[in-house]
Amino acid sequence: MQAQISPARSVSGAVLLPGDKSISHRYAMLAAIAEGDSKILNYSTGADCHSTLGCVRALGIQVEESDTEVLIHGRGAEGLSAPQSDLDAGNSGSTIRMLSGILAARNFESRIGGDESLSRRPMDRIMRPLAEMGASIEARDGRYPPLAIHGRKLHPIEYTLPMASAQVKTCVLFGGLNADGDTIVHEPMRTRDHTELALRDFGADIDVHKRTITLHGPAHLQGRELQVPGDLSSAAFFLVAALIVAESNLVIHGVGLNPTRSALLDFLAGMGAAIQILEIKQTGSELIGDILVRKSAVRGGVLEKAQTAALIDEIPALAVLGAASEEGLVVRDAAELRVKETDRIATIAENCGRMGIRIEVREDGFEIPGKQTFHAAELDSFGDHRIAMAFAVAALAADGPCT
């Protein structure tokens, strides 16, 4: 697909974003193993979350979709059936990593894989803890999809995550749902806690104390009606667009404001961005609100340590903002960017280069000086949705049309 994007005069008005990707995946997977029907409102319209629904269907669960509403007829902890063919996670790391926790604990065999990008992403990070729980999983070259999962009853473990990863945390907790006893996960840094909140919403017994999560298994999940908040990581692209394009004034309605995700807003405010939260409500265990953003002179900043982990998906958008800022952006401790849908340090650098934006690349981050001009260019998403969106936003502020 090719798109022509012309420079914008202003980014103004109001937008309502699709449902949060992370939350949609979790609600769909938990609904599939819960007892009874779950209705999920504002389910993500993105391809990744539809890969999850495809897998849920292939596991014998009836799923009805209308517009952005999804009805999942859960059949309880033992209600999934062996898939007839390989499960297809498409481009979605969340689907393969989180669903593997559920599959490893079933009493059947399954295989799960995905597209070319997913096939290059490491799965040993989930295979290790699942093996400790007694799971039997084979992967290509020992660490890449497709995974062949020989399901069986798992036992609970206490596990310290070697990296900050909400997907791995979720996989271990999902693996522990059918186990007898406490599955305990320690995180090196707090990552998004949608799993903990969703598990509680579906009726699991779970405690969180600082960076330690304890799931008391086995869990008996009950179907629920839940609304997915708008996706804050998608809002990041609109926020940056409004911040860098002259005369912009935009309201983004119904955005998820979970405190483990909203570090983005704090970081932007710290840079001097004119951002206001208009109203905060609760939906299920998640927070939701409207955000007002206006064109601002942003100073620039440094992203490192825990903050980097909390903002990992927003870094492509922030790179664009950094180039337009007064003092630029420094990103450190972000080696995880190298194992996303693309090596995002490399794909950000490549597109910056094409637009004439100076960038200095490090092994675990980059440095972009401020006050730079985006020059019209032919850009490449490299098949990565966040790279496509970040540079579509850069194109809005460029000195001519971009492809």
Binds ligand S3P (CB under 6 A): choice among 24, 42, 91, 94: 94
Binds ligand S3P (CB under 6 A): choice among 205, 336, 367, 380: 336
> Phi, psi (5° rounding) for residue 151?
-70, 150
Closest distance between ligand S3P and the C-beta of residue 130, in Å?
15
Closest distance between ligand S3P and the C-beta of residue 257, in Å?
16
Q: Provide the β-strand partners of residue 158.
A: 184
Q: Toward ligand S3P, which CB reaches closer, 338 or 358? A: 338
Closest distance between ligand S3P and the C-beta of residue 354, in Å?
25
β-strand pairing of 87-88 with 109-113: parallel
Q: Answer whether the bond into residue 146 is a cis peptide, omega within 30°.
A: yes
The CB-side HSE value for 305 (13 A sphere, CA atoms) comes to 0
Q: Which residue has the tokens 């604990």?
A: 105
Closest distance between ligand S3P and the C-beta of residue 26, in Å?
7
Give the closest residue to 291 by CA, choosing from 315, 317, 273. Answer: 273
Q: Answer whether the bond into residue 83 is a cis peptide, omega within 30°.
A: no
Sheet holding 87-88, edge to edge: 87-88, 109-113, 144-150, 136-140
Rounded Cα distance, 290 and 296, in Å: 18
182, 313, 343, 364: which is the annotated catalytic residue? 313
User: 141 catalytic, yes or no?
Assistant: no
Q: Toward ligand S3P, which CB reaches closer, 341 or 350? A: 341
- For residue 172, give Cα distances in angstroms to 30, 41, 120, 213: 14, 27, 22, 11
Site string for ligand S3P, 142-181 (x = CB under 6 A): -----------------------xxx--x-----------
Q: Toward ligand S3P, which CB reaches closer, 218 or 229? A: 229
Q: Provide the β-strand partners of residue 104.
A: none
Closest distance between ligand S3P and the C-beta of residue 4, in Å?
28
- For residue 341, give Cα distances in angstroms to 37, 71, 90, 383, 385: 33, 29, 11, 8, 8
Q: Toward ligand S3P, which CB reaches closer, 375 or 385? A: 385
Q: Toward ligand S3P, which CB reaches closer, 187 or 290? A: 187
22 binds ligand S3P (CB under 6 A): yes
Q: Provide the β-strand partners of residue 251.
A: 14, 292
Closest distance between ligand S3P and the C-beta of residue 245, in Å?
26
Closest distance between ligand S3P and the C-beta of residue 121, in Å?
9
Rounded Cα distance, 117 and 100, in Å: 18
Rounded Cα distance, 337 and 283, in Å: 31
Show the tokens assigned to 179: 């186990």
> Phi, psi (5° rounding) for residue 118?
-65, -35
91 binds ligand S3P (CB under 6 A): no
Q: Which residue has the tokens 């090719």?
A: 2
Q: Which of residues 204-263 bind ligand S3P (CB under 6 A)?
A: none
Q: Which of residues 305-324 bind ligand S3P (CB under 6 A)?
A: 312-313
Residues engaged in binding ligand S3P (CB under 6 A): 22, 94, 165-167, 170, 192, 312-313, 336
Residues that are catalytic = 313
